[in-house]
Structure 1
Amino acid sequence: MTTAILFDVDGTLVDTPAGMADVLHAVVAEHGRTATDEQVRRTIGRPLAASLAGLLARPADHPEVERAVDRARELFTETVVPNAAKLVFPGVPELLTTLRARGHPLAVVTSKVRPSAIELLTATGLLDAFDCLSCHGMAARGKPHADLALLAADTLGVPPARCVVVGDAVDDVRMANAAGMVPFGVTTGVANRVELLLAGARAVFTSPATLGPALLLTSDTRSVRPLPEVI
């Protein structure tokens, strides 16, 4: 059975973390608060409500957080999405095309809500590369819990043990391990090599160019075990 590949989006396929950081800084400032670059960086990749709740020091269901989430999505649409096609990491379209040609089922597993994921992936031209989207709110729990990854595997009809998760954040790696999947880390986003390895990444890659050959060896997930820690 061919292995399914589950991709995170922000920081993995598309270089959006910097734009998202600008959005979060702007929203926090609009609410009369300040946050350091490091405080903002640590929240990127999480659901917006969780990120902004932490930055605004409010419960996630607080009306101020709900307004901030709506504003963040508005700013992201206005400032980041129009440039999305230019933010796709070099080599990503070719990698996805090759994986599909080799028969690998492909999914997105993201902390974005589905409308936001569709908006961004449409703008990048990547949407049609994927067989399914597993987005925040579509399962009982988000990352780092296993639920979204297991939803994607179930939708694709592939056992979790035959799925590889590719992500740039510690939560992606933890989700993969919780789901019984193989976690690959990439250093194109918010977490560094050490953070990804300590979280349990099987291997860490610096770019789609170095990631691609490893994924093409995953028709049997056992083949990833001898990979070096960093490529």
Structure 2
Amino acid sequence: MNRCAIFDLDGTLVDSPRGIVTTFAAVFAQLDLPTVDSPTIHATIGLPLPAAFAKILGTSEDEPVVTACVELYQATFRKIVLPLATQLVFPGVYDGLQSLRDDGFRLAVATSKYIGNAEALLTAAGLREEFSVVVGADQVSKPKPDPESGLLVLRRLGVSPRNAVMVGDTTHDINMAHGAGMASIAVTYGVHGVDQLLGANPTWLVDSFAGVVAAVRECA
């Protein structure tokens, strides 16, 4: 029986949110846009880049300023975050992923990152080889919280939703899982707080990657 665990990237596998906030701030500075406080930026993590920039700037996603921000972000992110990638991997992730693979689970990533930066971050962190499939926000018409990303992963792996689980640190991940008919594991060490995560009704709530591994095994 094919069994699959799908992981979010930022705030779930890698503690990249702090680098993301720095990257956003650098983009605003380089484009001479008004300074935005860290909590406002942090609140958009988990959204696709166009949606995040549009929300912060109070405009629509198709505005030229949003396009400029997204393009500059892609290059700036690689300069700021990628050199630190191995230091940002959460405790227990390396061994935990290997353990799940040894147990026969197919592993995948569904992220709100564009695929180029997602692949680059996973490679820089030494994690890319653990995953059979990686799906980025620019590979679907409706990114998270829409279920399309998760369903694309399942199609590529040939796995039924009832044999899959989504692991993530935001309500966007949990709502994607609900829409795709999958179980879900919410982690409390990422972006969204416990109360916010519980409001999305995850199947499990865990506070460490060791807890993730145990919960994934319960899904089997």
- Whole-Å separation in 1 of the counterparts to 2:71 and 2:2: 40
Instruction: Determine if contact 2:10/2:46 at 8 Å carries over to the other structure.
Output: yes
Question: In the alignment, which residue of structure 2 is the partner of 1:20?
Answer: 20
State the alpha-carbon separation in 2 of the partners of residues 123 and 149 from structure 1.
Answer: 24
Q: Give the deviation of 1:135 after TM superposition.
A: 1.2
Q: Could you tell me which residue of structure 2 aligns to residue 7 of structure 1? A: 7
Partners of 2:118 and 2:38 in 1: how far apart?
24
Counterpart in 1 of 2:100? Answer: 99
Give the counterpart letter for 2:20 in structure 1.
Answer: M
Match of 1:218 in 2: 219
SS at 1:105 equivalent: strand
Q: CA deviation at 1:54?
A: 1.3
Write the letter of the residue equivalent to 1:4. C
> For each residue in 1:135-181, what CA deviation from the matched residue of structure 2 results, as whole angstroms up to 9, or x when unmatched?
11222210000100000011110011211000001100000001100
CA shift for structure 1 position 58: 2.3
Provide the C-alpha distance between the structure 1 equivalents of 2:49 and 2:123, rounded to a whole number of angstroms: 20
Rounded Cα–Cα distance in structure 1 between residues aligned with 2:188 and 2:149: 22
CA contact (8 A) 2:6 2:167 kept: yes
| Count of aligned positions | 219
Question: What is residue 55 of structure 1 aligned with on the other side?
Answer: 56
Question: What are the ranges of 5 or more consecutive residues in structure 2 without an aligned counterpart?
Answer: none
Query: What residue is the counterpart of 1:69 in the other structure?
Result: 70
- Residue 181 of structure 1 aligns with an amino acid whose one-letter code is M
Whole-angstrom distance in 1 between the partners of 2:146 and 2:8: 14
- Does the CA-based 8 Å contact 1:177-1:200 persist in structure 2? no
Distance 2:33 2:79 in 1: 21
Residue correspondence of structure 1 range 75-114 to structure 2 within 5 A: 75-114=76-115
Q: CA deviation at 1:2?
A: 4.2
Q: Give the structure-1-normalised TM-score.
A: 0.91
Partners of 2:135 and 2:157 lie apart in 1 by 11
Name whichever of 41-50 and 23-32 sits farther off: 23-32
Alignment correspondent of 2:139 = 138
* Aligned-partner Cα distance in 1 for 2:135–2:33: 34
d(CA) in 2 for partners of 1:113, 1:172: 16
* Separation of aligned partners in 2, 1:206 and 1:124: 22
Q: Aligned-pair RMSD on alpha carbons?
A: 1.2
Distance 2:114 2:42 in 1: 20
In structure 1, the gaps of 5 or more residues are 220-231
Amino acid at match of 2:26: A
